[in-house]
Amino acid sequence: MSEVFEGYERQYCELSANLSRKCSSTSLVSDQEQKLQKFSEIKAGLDDADVLIRKMDLEARSLQPSVKAMLLAKLREYKSDLSNLKKEFKRLTSPNSDEAVREELLEAGMADTHSASADQRERLTMSVERLNQSSERIRESHRTLLETEELGVSILQDLHSQRETLLNSHKRLHGVDDAIDKSKKVLTTMSRRITRNKWIVASVIGALVFAIVVILSYKLSH
């Protein structure tokens, strides 16, 4: 989840709780000047809440679709909460409502209003918690995916290194084969030369023996 969105979210939740308390306390204020001051503070708070809602909306729409859908679901809850706060503020500042009406609303309906508001905020809190849990699961899945990707890259690098080693070994073996072939050729040539020299020596010895025999025969005959 975006850290920027989470920052806006924390600010809004604090502001919403503060506005809710101010709306509840303003309905009990009897002094007109104090009440107008409360109205001014609540109006400024609602404007700030509107700004935060817009910032969250822009931030959510700039993210990836999977994260954006989850954040927009959160944002709908916050927009509904802000709408209820605005309605409560409008009721408090309505020019048609006099003190008697306020007292009647306070006695007859305020409890229900606060109860409904509390229930809604409880549901909102639960929804936020569920969405936070979903966000955590998404982040965990993303981390697992990154770890798996890193492991796959590491394995591919190892395989590439092993392939290079095998290719180098193959080249060395090919060089050894060439050297062996050259050695065989040299040995074959040497063997042929030795055989030829043997024949030459044998021929020379045979010629000498023949010459000696002829000389001896000549001398013996004379």
pLDDT value of position 52: 93
pLDDT band at 100; cut points 50, 70, 90: very low
Task: Return the pLDDT at 97.
Answer: 46
**Considering only the top CATH level, what class is 1-94?**
mainly alpha
Per-residue model confidence (pLDDT) at position 217: 85
Q: How large is the average pLDDT for residues 154-161?
A: 81
Q: Residue 45 carries which side chain, given as an amino acid letter? A: G
Higher pLDDT, 17 or 135: 17
pLDDT at residue number 111: 47
In the prediction, which pLDDT does 54 show? Answer: 94
What contacts 198, CB < 8 A, 6 or more positions away?
none
Percent of the chain with pLDDT over 90: 19
The one-letter amino acid code at 192 reads R
Q: How many CA atoms lie within 13 A of 122 on its CB side?
A: 6
**Selection from 2, 142, 120 nearest residue 72 by Cα:** 2
Asked if pLDDT for residue 154 goes beyond 50, the answer is: yes
Amino acid at 136: E
In the predicted model, is pLDDT for residue 37 greater than 60? yes
Region 117-144: what's the mean pLDDT?
68
**Residue 83 confidence (pLDDT) above 90:** yes
Place of tokens 């409502």: 97
Distance CA 55, CA 12 (A): 11
Burial class (CB in 10 A: 0-12, 13-18, 19+), 12: buried
pLDDT digits (tens, 9 = 90+) for 166-185: 888 778 877 777 878 887 88
Dihedral angle computed from the Cα positions of residues 122, 123, 125 and 126, in that order, rounded to the nearest 10 degrees: 120
Dist CA 17 CA 34 (whole Å): 20
State mean pLDDT over 113-127. 62
pLDDT for the residue numbered 105: 43
Residues 54-77 as b or e (16 or more Cβ within 10 Å = b): ebbbebbeebeeebbebbeebbeb
Give residue 138's pLDDT. 66
Long-range contacts of residues 93-99, Cβ cutoff 8 Å, at least 24 apart: 93/39
Q: How confident is the model at residue 1 (pLDDT cuts 50, 70, 90)?
A: low
